[in-house]
Chains A and B, each alone.
Chain A
Amino acid sequence: MLHVGLHHFLIVSAVLFSLGIYAVVTRKNAIMVLMGIELILNSANINFIAFSRFGNFGLGGQIMALFIIILAAAEAAIALAIVLNVYKTFANVDIDEINKLKE
């Protein structure tokens, strides 16, 4: 019987994190980048909960995960609002094109 331990959780979390980073780094679309960020946040959540379950830290980890979920929701709301404004100004959401601040 396969025993599911801390390592498994951490591996899933690491994979999820790498996928998030990959999305953030490679996607041209801002919304995709935001989705990448969500993946990273959720990989962190998995870490918190895993440590909370297998470690000896009490409920702190789970509470922190709840905070992160709320934070992610807020972040998404603000980020999407920004993306909407960017779209209004530049007529697209390609982050390579949005480089007016550089000049």
Chain B
Amino acid sequence: MFDQTIVTLSISSLLLPVFGFALIVLFNKRFPQIYKLGIGILLFGLASAITIMVIKFTQYLHNDIIFRFTWIDFGNIPGIGKTQIVLGVKIDNIATIMLFVVNLISSLVHIYSLEYMKGDSRFNRYYAYLGIFTFSMIGIVIADNLLMMYIFWELVGLSSYLLIGFWYEKKSASDAGKKAFLTNRVGDIGMLIGILILYTNYHTFTFDQIFHEISLGHIPFGSSGWLTATGILVFLGAVGKSAQFPLHVWLPDAMEGPTPVSALIHSATMVAAGVYLSLRIFPILTADAMLFIAVIGGFTSFLAASIALTQNDIKRVLAYSTVSQLGYMVMSVGVGAYTFAFFHLVTHAFFKSNLFLGSGSVIHAMHHEQDIRNMGGLRKKMPVTYTTFVISSLALSGIPLFSGFLSKDGILAGSLAFAHLTGHWLLPTFGFLVAMMTAFYMFRLIIIAFHGKPRNQEKYDHAHETPLVMTIPLIVLATLSLFFWFSPNPVSPESGWFLSKWVHTPQQVIPNESRYHFMINDNTVEQENAENSAPVMNSEEYEHAMHWAHIPTLTMSITLAGLGVLLAFLLYQWRVFDPDKWAEKLKPLYLFSLNKWYVDEFYAATFIGGTIGLSKLLSLFDKYVVDGIVNGTAFVTRGLSNISGVFDKYVVDGAVNGTAFLSGLLGLGFRKLQTGKIQTYIVLVVFSILILLLLI
């Protein structure tokens, strides 16, 4: 009964932001206040997201709401059969929650930017870009097919490019925009190939139909190797967008964009789209694909966390922390902890966007100072920012009572259970190391930036707490970083409504021999009223392993996070150890981390250097071979035209001139007849008439 309402609301909250974008871009000169339209639309979006959430979870908890229509009908193409492109909207439980998260954070960022971007010469344009971003992100969330997802995927890439390079007068900003765009393209190619493989085999882009076909045993090109390849190829899109190794290099550079943009796009929503995509294709991931994904995720989280340890730019620390947490989520998808991946996506969206908005507040107060070595002592000047920042850091570090603990613990338990079942012990090792490093670098950041004595007295004196427009979003998001929103029990998320009711791991559809043995349903209980819902995974073996992993994970993660925090305090607050001395002692490691594992340098030397070398080679080829051919042709043509020129000059011109000469000669004779004296003419006329008369 209410499903029409949900469809209408979701589609209008999808389309209104792009409508707002068009209006703002068209009329921003005539109405300088038009940016308010963007804010209004987002508040509507938030209201409809909440409405959808209420209706979905009270009326349609186990049913997905699907609305499809034929976009293009190619009719019956010979050799292929009936071909049509069907688009559609699918509102399942994770889409509902994502809609809320995207609209909420987007609204808060819209409000926050009122102050942060004040006085910018392209203020209206900024809101227009935020609008098109919101549009594309909602498109990804509610898409029920790969084609629509791909379209919005690219739109998200475009809006991200526009926003990173928003201050394009700065070369670093426009370079960062290009880097983000190009790096994403590498992953997207993989994704496109994966989508095309699926389309070639099933003639549909719709998730449910593809899953249905595969569950009937029709695997791509009849080989499970292709199935694995398809999963990995589509996942490559997520590698690009979610900044996974080896395509993670764009995200830290993307911090050149305005800080509220970093909060919205490069921490909370867009980068989470990659994880969201992996969740969407989870049912077709084979055991090999899952292992690949888990290893990529685990390694990325370790790499990024180790880099974040030594960075000095407040936004860069947070950027690497984002990459690291995204690695967690991806690893979680890989180890089969589907629900925890999504859970962490949501909790991370709240506390990480809060951290970014908090850092924006600091940067705003310090007049665009981003280097934490120039901060210090800000705790007293900016109490609200400080408090909310600490709350979110605690959540990120995985300290009990905060949301991050619940989700992160689930991921660690999942990786431990996976290791227990398959023997890949490296993954939980990465996971636990990262947990400790996360706590360490977050508290290093807090201590250096907010505690101690001011290092730059002048800037410190000018610093002040930011106005309410900026602090209210901080407070809202900090509140959402507390545990009770997600689970009544602060140490175990299992009893919370989030995991027990709303989010379930879907049943994989691939043939049993391609799956991990623990991903096979051993419990064939049919879901009640499961008219539209995907079957839920129900594996006792996996449940058992998760249960077994719960207590060790709990103790270990609390201990390690505590150790990390303690270490940060020992080094930077109490100065029991001198951090500079330790940096000197571990110099190779320190430099390795400070220089981001030299990944950028490696790319500059190999891919970029290779491309430049290749283009130099090609330019030489152009210069000597292609230009040689062109110049040779020109030379031959010139020779030929010289010959035909001579012919023209002597033969054609000769004929023309000869004719002219002859006419001239005749004229010379006949000219004598024309005397110009009218009387002569009359005499001639009269005599002519007389002669004529005589002749007649």
Contacts and interface: CB of A to CB of B under 8 A. Distances in A.
Classify chain B's interface size. under 10
Interface string A4-45: 000000000000000001001110000001000000000000
A21 B682 contact: yes
B99 to A, nearest CB: 94
A102 interface: yes
Interface string A77-101: 0000000000000000001100101
A25 B676 contact: no
Contact of A95 (B679, B683, B686): B679
Interface hub of A25, A33, A96, A101 (most chain B Cβ within 10 A)? A25
Contacts of A33: 679
Nearest to B686: A21
Contacts of B678: 95
Contacts of B575: none
Contacts of A26: 679
B676 A99 contact: yes
Contacts of B683: 25
B170 interface: no
Nearest to B680: A25
A75 to B, nearest CB: 16
B677 A25 contact: no
Interface hub of B676, B677, B679 (most chain A Cβ within 10 A)? B679
B677 A24 contact: no
A101 B682 CA distance: 18
Interface in A47-101: 95-96, 99, 101
Interface in B656-680: 676-679
Nearest to B681: A25
A102 B679 contact: no
Contacts of A21: 682, 686
A96 B677 contact: yes
Interface string B33-65: 000000000000000000000000000000000
B558 to A, nearest CB: 118
Nearest to B683: A25
A68 to B, nearest CB: 20
A12 to B, nearest CB: 19
B674 to A, nearest CB: 9
Interface string B679-691: 1001100100000
A63 to B, nearest CB: 27
Nearest to B676: A102
Contacts of B682: 21, 24-25
B308 to A, nearest CB: 99
A101 B677 CA distance: 11
Interface hub of B676, B677, B678 (most chain A Cβ within 10 A)? B678
A24 B684 CA distance: 13
Contacts of A102: 676
A84 B135 CA distance: 91
Contacts of B677: 95-96, 99
A31 to B, nearest CB: 14
Contacts of B679: 24-26, 33, 95
A29 B682 CA distance: 16
A45 to B, nearest CB: 20
Contacts of B686: 21, 25
Nearest to B677: A96
Nearest to A33: B679
Contacts of B676: 99, 101-102
A6 to B, nearest CB: 19
A33 B679 CA distance: 9
Nearest to B679: A25
A81 to B, nearest CB: 18
B681 to A, nearest CB: 10
Contacts of A25: 679, 682-683, 686
Contacts of A99: 676-677
A102 B678 CA distance: 11
B352 to A, nearest CB: 97
A21 B683 CA distance: 8
Contacts of A101: 676
A26 B682 CA distance: 10
A33 B682 CA distance: 12
A101 B683 CA distance: 21
A17 to B, nearest CB: 10
A32 B18 CA distance: 95
A24 B678 CA distance: 10
A77 B494 CA distance: 124
A13 B679 CA distance: 22
A33 B676 CA distance: 16
A21 to B, nearest CB: 6
A95 B679 CA distance: 9
A99 B676 CA distance: 7
A21 B682 CA distance: 8
A26 B677 CA distance: 12
Contacts of A95: 677-679
Interface string B113-128: 0000000000000000
A49 B682 CA distance: 26
B243 to A, nearest CB: 91
Nearest to A24: B682
A99 B677 CA distance: 8
A96 B678 CA distance: 9
A26 B676 CA distance: 15
A96 to B, nearest CB: 7
A48 to B, nearest CB: 20
A32 to B, nearest CB: 11
A2 B181 CA distance: 125
B635 to A, nearest CB: 54
Nearest to A27: B679
Interface string B323-354: 00000000000000000000000000000000
A95 B678 CA distance: 9
A90 to B, nearest CB: 15
A24 B679 CA distance: 7
A24 to B, nearest CB: 6
Nearest to A26: B679
Contacts of A24: 679, 682
Interface of B: 676-679, 682-683, 686
18 contacts: A21-B682, A21-B686, A24-B679, A24-B682, A25-B679, A25-B682, A25-B683, A25-B686, A26-B679, A33-B679, A95-B677, A95-B678, A95-B679, A96-B677, A99-B676, A99-B677, A101-B676, A102-B676
Given A25-B686, A101-B676, 16 more contacts: A21-B682, A21-B686, A24-B679, A24-B682, A25-B679, A25-B682, A25-B683, A26-B679, A33-B679, A95-B677, A95-B678, A95-B679, A96-B677, A99-B676, A99-B677, A102-B676
**The 3 nearest A-B residue pairs measured at CB:** A102-B676, A25-B679, A25-B683
